[in-house]
Structure 1
Amino acid sequence: MITRQTRASTFLFTSFLRPSSASLLPQSYICTPCRRELHRGLPQDGQIPKPIPFVPDVPTFLSLIGREMKKHASKLQSWDELFTLTSSQLKERGIDPPRSRRYLLRWREKYRRGEYGVGGDFKYVKDGVAELRVVEVPCIPTKELKAEDEKVTITHTPGMEKLVLNVPNGSETYVLERGQTTADLVKAKGYKVKDGYIVTGKAALPMKGTSQSGATVTASEGLWEHKRGRKIHGGERRRAEVLHKLRVEANKAAR
């Protein structure tokens, strides 16, 4: 059955081409719009990505994406299984309902493409906790400023800018690596500086008892979760009907 669909899709695509163009296509060519959805199989170029410091193992990954996927951690024995099992194989492992499998497969492909949530760009993580610090570095000039254009404030130094950087746990500053310059520094994605010293962003908790401003981010349940929509007045299909009944009941009560 799959072979017939593949031949049909190839025929439909090549039938609109000139004979000279169609002859250049390989026999095994499958038109991209005719491919099955992701939950029907694995992509041909699917590779197993490596764990990152913020996501070192399967339980952490399932916990971050939320929707109670962490309860299925015991059904996946290794990191390779997480990225190689098909939807039917996940079903055999007991990962239900189907929307949970689709959600897992969608996040799996996002991770494969490097589309992480907050904390995915962290380099220094210890026991699931990353530390962020406000670091002042020389700013890269975008245009020539006159002397009168530079303004001095309590929280800003002329020629300097503040970045939120991920630093090794327990350190109060960031030490440049060999061959690295301040121009190579990139602020943590999803976090910014407020009032010159406060780190704001998702799941950022201020650090206490330190001489400098900073925050901690923990790999917690649902940190990367995509929230489901909720039905109001019966959802989109029944909203008009439900609102009409409510208005009728309100009019009857007002009489």
Structure 2
Amino acid sequence: MRYVAIGDSFTEGLGDELPDGTTRGWADLVAAGLAAAHGTTVQYANLAIRGRLLEPIVTDQLDRALSMSPAPTMITLNGGGNDMMRPGADLDRLLALTEGAVRRCAAAGVRLVLLSGGDPSARLPFGNVMRRRGVALTAATADLAARHGLEFVDVFSDVEIRREQYWSTDRLHLNSAGHRRVASLVLAGLGYATEAHVVEPAPAGTRRGLLAEARYYREFVVPWVHRRLRGRSSGDGRTAKYFDWVPVQPA
């Protein structure tokens, strides 16, 4: 099996940092799970880069994935979250871009798996707007997958992962527990007997104070706004963490 993951920070694994500072994430865990399930080495590449919009994911990243030698046997695709955070997000355009990727993978004989990202909207500024857009994009992507006979892993509709214990301090990216849950959902969606990862509930009565909220806006919201005003992205200047095949051994 040769597996390539394409996407943005969700697929890159942001929020699941190992003690040595490297980023892991659900796609790395899926590659390890596939190797363990088959009892053989899986060749794995992760071309995802944080901050990427859907168009460069289904052009630049997909171009690279389909040009790899030997060719991939499976690609996972998630994208559109960064598009939906911008004013004037065009759902029809996002679906057209996704369907183009579907057709390219089908023509190349590569198995494509579509994913929706987790729903962080409950704790984000303008979260209601984000949730409405996410619901619409998820439903449309599910319909697209059904029409083309593709696996679709609907993380956005997973109620469990909306809990605070699965999210990083920036409230936008999953933490290690969140990535572990996504990996278990993906492996189960691919037909492997996998128990969904679950964490213990938070103690009752916990709440954020005003100082914590002010610190959150200062450390995360304001820098994000500044990047948008300057037309910058958190992924500017970054390259994929696994641009070519790396072997993942069965554990």
TM-score past 0.5 threshold: no
Q: Indicate the structure with greater helix content.
A: 2
- TM-score norm. by structure 2 comes to 0.24
- TM-score norm. by structure 1 comes to 0.23
Which is greater in Rg?
1
Larger RCO: 1 or 2 (CA < 8 Å, sep 6+): 2
